């Protein structure tokens, strides 16, 4: 009798909690929860209605659920009135609790108050004259929503109403040939994602891919189709152990199983010697000395290039000397006076000795070998 | 006399390695009472050379660093009021010396350059109402830096003409650089001693006047100067368009003096065409004004001078 009374009191408390209207300074907000006492991973529909009561100001709201490891959520809908002085906003969320016991869902609500002028100014004008909407923001402390979450029966991996289908293309294959194996889990409930679908028993090789998830959240829950593409391979015949997934449907509060019976795969052995190409098989490896001729070729090419560069360098000085404008002028000189004239016109500090010899011959009593002086002058160039 | 010159050169070489062209230019300037313009990058021993020359001759030397904010009174001197006895006294500027190094003359504004160049010409300074004659010898070695031409006041051609020679100083050879480096590291530069007196210098200047120069060579020099003014007359079509203005009469005078001084320094008592050849570039390179075409083509006055020497037949 006491127990029954306690249960009834608890149900009444959660019923009151599930429909809670509160009055803030200039607006009211109403939370509705369709299931205040859910199972783990059972969908809960949460609605929030915000109604502006102070119509003197323009009021805007920013609302969301705070993320937590205790639950996951998805916003399904927002409906707003177009009136700026009479804001009415309706939020719809789908929440899945992820652990049993008491969990608290916390909220983030900001009230933004502005004026008609600011609002009009921020929306008027062209794209180059956009002003930020100036608002006075107030963080509203909403009380957390408490849920008392019931635990799942032990060993439950899926929560909802699901059906399992599987597809095995063939049960016979050659050694190491892949055997495609695909499993589909479809139904309504918490998205049916299973970490390891294949049993641990057996030495065969498992090839798995990331499951393909298609899910649509509605106010009635989440409709999901999860496909597990896999393949198996082995050198010998093997048996895949039966796969049993324990599921729980919170609507009926009953557990059920999704089964894949044991599968046997026949593997045909392949004679590996038959795979060797005995007709066009290459000759056995012989000593290859072709690298030596290649190396010699490279060495010859290197030295040829090196000597060419050196010969150009050796010839550079000679070429420069030949191209010097003074060379031809000195060579064209027929007599001592002409040579003296060319030398004093040039950079005469280089030709001091030649100039002195020519001077002594022309204006003194000295005797010189004209061709030798000419040659000396040529040698001093560069 | 040639021994004295050799002794002087040897004494200067204790402090200055290489730079024979600059030393010889200074000696020519000193013998001929001329002034020298030196163009070269910093660090080519310009101040050292002036100091060494002044010590070797027992002369005063001063250095003025020309800057954009320099005033004429900074170099000439000024009249200073003495509040104690309510009198004015003359404070002589650094111009009152024998050898003056005017460093980076093109950094100072025109009024300062003009003040210096006027003193160079007149060899006298007027401060307030008092005129002072400068002591002989008076030689100005002005320097110009060929790089860093931003924010400089280029010397006008009329003022450049007052310099007897413009010497382009080159870097030393590798061997000379090595010797400088070693001597500088070991403080091995010798102390320059006074080897000649002012009287000896005046005597050398007297001797210079005795150097013979042939009439043909005199005509040759005049022809060279005239060729810079009227190149077409001498068949110098290829350089005619490169010359805007030729050399002035001062060039003739300075070439004449410089050729004699060169012959004297070489120990000869007569001038040869080679002596003219040795000094002609230094005497004329700052006196020929190039045309716009020549500047655009990057032609240098040295090339024009060489072309003239190559064309005019030597006596």
Assess whether the previous peptide bond of B137 is cis (omega < 30° from 0). yes
Q: Please state the rounded mean pLDDT for residues A365-376.
A: 80
Q: Is the confidence at residue A40, as pLDDT, over 70?
A: yes
Residue B128 phi/psi, 5° resolution?
Answer: 60, -115
What is the overall mean pLDDT for chain A? 84
B40 pLDDT band (50/70/90 cuts)? confident
Q: pTM of this prediction?
A: 0.54
Query: What is d(CA B228, CA B231) in angstroms, rounded to the nearest whole number?
Result: 6
Tell me whether residues A359 and B276 touch, CB distance under 8 A. Answer: no
Say which CATH architecture domain A158-272 belongs to: Sandwich (2.60)
Domains A2-149 and A158-272 share a fold: yes
Tens-digit pLDDT profile for residues B217-235: 899 999 999 999 888 888 8
Q: Is the confidence at residue B244, as pLDDT, over 80?
A: yes
Given this model, what pLDDT does residue A12 score? 47
Taking the mean position of all CA atoms in its chain, how far away is CA A327? 73
Q: Are A175 and A269 in contact (CB under 8 A)?
A: yes
Tell me whether residues B306 and A345 touch, CB distance under 8 A. Answer: yes
Say which CATH architecture domain A2-149 belongs to: Sandwich (2.60)
Q: Please state the rounded mean pLDDT for residues B89-116.
A: 85
In chain B, what residues touch A353 (CB-CB under 8 Å)?
none
Q: Is the confidence at residue A351, as pLDDT, over 90?
A: no
Tens-digit pLDDT profile for residues A265-310: 999 988 777 777 777 776 666 788 889 999 999 999 999 999 999 9
Place of tokens 């895949």: A240
In 3D space, the residue among A343, A315, A320, A317 whose CA is nearest the CA of residue A330 turns out to be: A343
Tell me whether residues A349 and B21 touch, CB distance under 8 A. Answer: yes
Q: Please state the rounded mean pLDDT for residues A193-217.
A: 88
Interface check B244 vs A, CB under 8 A: no
Query: What is d(CA B153, CA B106) in angstroms, rounded to the nearest whole number?
Result: 5
Residue B70 parent element (H or E) = none
Residue A174 pairs with which residues in a beta bridge? Answer: A268
Residue B162 phi/psi, 5° resolution?
Answer: -75, -15
Q: Is the confidence at residue A125, as pLDDT, over 70?
A: no
Given this model, what pLDDT does residue A128 score? 61
Tell me whether residues B272 and A359 touch, CB distance under 8 A. Answer: yes
Mutate to test the interface with B, among A360, A363, A364 (most CBs of B within 10 A): A363
A126 pLDDT band (50/70/90 cuts)? low
Q: Which of A340, A346, A349 sits opposite B306 (nearest CB)?
A: A346
What is the overall mean pLDDT for chain B? 85
Domain ranges of chain A: 2-149, 158-272, 316-380
Given this model, what pLDDT does residue A129 score? 62
Nearest CA in chain B to A339: B310
Domains of chain B: 2-179 (3.40.50.300), 209-311 (1.10.8.80)
Q: DSSP readout, A13-77?
A: HHHHHHEEEEE-SSEEEEEEES-SSPBTT--EEEEEEEEE--TTSEEEEEEEEPPBTTEEEEEEE
Interface check B172 vs A, CB under 8 A: no
Most confident of A304-308, B80-84, B182-186: A304-308
Nearest CA in chain B to A364: B272
Higher pLDDT, A379 or A62: A62
Given this model, what pLDDT does residue A89 score? 92
Residue B79 pairs with which residues in a beta bridge? Answer: B90
């Amino acid at each position: 009798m006491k127990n029954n009374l306690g249960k009834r009191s608890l149900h009444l408390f959660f019923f009151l909690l599930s429909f809670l209207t509160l009055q803030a300074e200039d607006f009211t907000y109403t939370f509705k929860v369709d299931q205040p006492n859910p199972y783990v991973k059972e969908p809960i529909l949460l609605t929030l209605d915000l109604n502006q009561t102070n119509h003197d100001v323009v009021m805007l709201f920013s609302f969301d659920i705070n993320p937590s490891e205790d639950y996951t959520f998805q916003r399904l809908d927002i409906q707003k009135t177009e009136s700026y002085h009479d804001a009415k906003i309706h939020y719809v969320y789908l929440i899945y609790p992820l652990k049993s016991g008491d969990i608290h869902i916390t909220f983030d609500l900001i009230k933004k108050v502005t004026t008609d002028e600011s609002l009009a100014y921020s929306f008027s004008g062209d794209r180059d004259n956009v002003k930020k909407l100036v608002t006075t923001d107030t963080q509203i402390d909403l009380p957390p929503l408490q849920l008392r979450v019931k635990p799942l029966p032990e060993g439950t991996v899926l929560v909802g109403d699901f059906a399992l289908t599987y597809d095995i293309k063939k049960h016979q294959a050659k050694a190491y040939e892949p055997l495609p194996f695909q499993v589909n889990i479809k139904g309504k409930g918490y998205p049916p994602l299973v970490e390891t679908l294949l049993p641990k028993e057996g030495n065969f090789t498992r090839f798995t891919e990331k499951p393909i998830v298609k899910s649509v959240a509605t106010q009635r829950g989440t409709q999901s189709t999860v496909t597990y593409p896999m393949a198996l391979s082995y050198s010998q015949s093997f048996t895949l152990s039966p796969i049993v997934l324990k599921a729980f449907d919170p609507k009926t509060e009953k557990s059920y199983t999704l089964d894949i019976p044991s599968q046997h795969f026949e593997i045909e052995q392949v004679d590996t010697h038959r795979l060797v190409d005995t007709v066009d098989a290459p000759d056995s490896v012989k000593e290859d000395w072709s690298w030596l001729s290649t190396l010699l070729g490279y060495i010859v090419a290197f030295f040829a290039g090196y000597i060419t560069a050196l010969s150009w360098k050796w010839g550079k000085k000679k070429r420069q000397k030949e191209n010097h404008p003074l060379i031809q002028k000195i060579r064209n000189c027929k007599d001592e006076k002409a040579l003296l004239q060319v030398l004093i016109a040039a950079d005469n500090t280089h030709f001091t000795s030649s100039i002195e010899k020519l001077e002594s011959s022309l204006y003194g009593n000295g005797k010189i070998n004209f061709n030798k002086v000419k040659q000396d002058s040529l040698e001093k160039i560069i | 006399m040639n021994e004295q010159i050799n002794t002087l050169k040897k004494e200067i070489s204790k402090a200055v390695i290489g730079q024979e062209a600059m030393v010889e230019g200074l000696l020519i300037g000193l013998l001929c009472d001329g002034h020298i313009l030196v163009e070269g990058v910093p660090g080519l021993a310009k101040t050292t050379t002036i100091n060494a020359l002044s010590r070797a001759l027992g002369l005063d030397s001063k250095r003025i660093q020309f800057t954009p904010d320099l005033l004429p009174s900074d170099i000439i001197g000024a009249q200073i009021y003495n509040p104690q006895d309510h009198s004015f006294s003359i404070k002589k500027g650094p111009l009152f010396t024998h050898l003056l190094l005017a460093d980076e003359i093109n950094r100072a504004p025109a009024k300062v350059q003009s003040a210096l160049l006027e003193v160079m010409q007149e060899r006298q300074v007027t401060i307030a109402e008092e005129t002072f004659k400068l002591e002989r010898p008076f030689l100005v070695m002005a320097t110009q830096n060929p790089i860093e031409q931003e924010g400089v006041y280029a010397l006008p051609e009329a003022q450049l003409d007052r310099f007897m020679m413009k010497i382009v100083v080159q870097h030393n050879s590798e061997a000379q650089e090595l010797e400088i480096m070693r001597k500088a590291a070991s403080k091995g530069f010798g102390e320059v001693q006074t080897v000649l007196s002012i009287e000896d210098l005046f005597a050398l200047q007297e001797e210079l006047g005795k150097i013979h120069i042939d009439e043909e060579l005199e005509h040759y020099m005049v022809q060279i100067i005239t060729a810079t003014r009227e190149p077409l007359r001498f068949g110098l079509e290829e350089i005619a368009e490169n010359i805007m203005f030729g050399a002035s009469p001062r060039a003739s005078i300075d070439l004449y003096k410089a050729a004699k001084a060169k012959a004297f320094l070489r120990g000869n008592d007569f001038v040869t065409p080679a002596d003219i050849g040795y000094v002609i570039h230094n005497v004329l390179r700052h006196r020929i004004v190039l045309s716009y075409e020549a500047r655009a083509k990057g032609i240098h006055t040295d090339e024009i001078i060489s072309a003239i020497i190559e064309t005019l037949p030597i006596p």
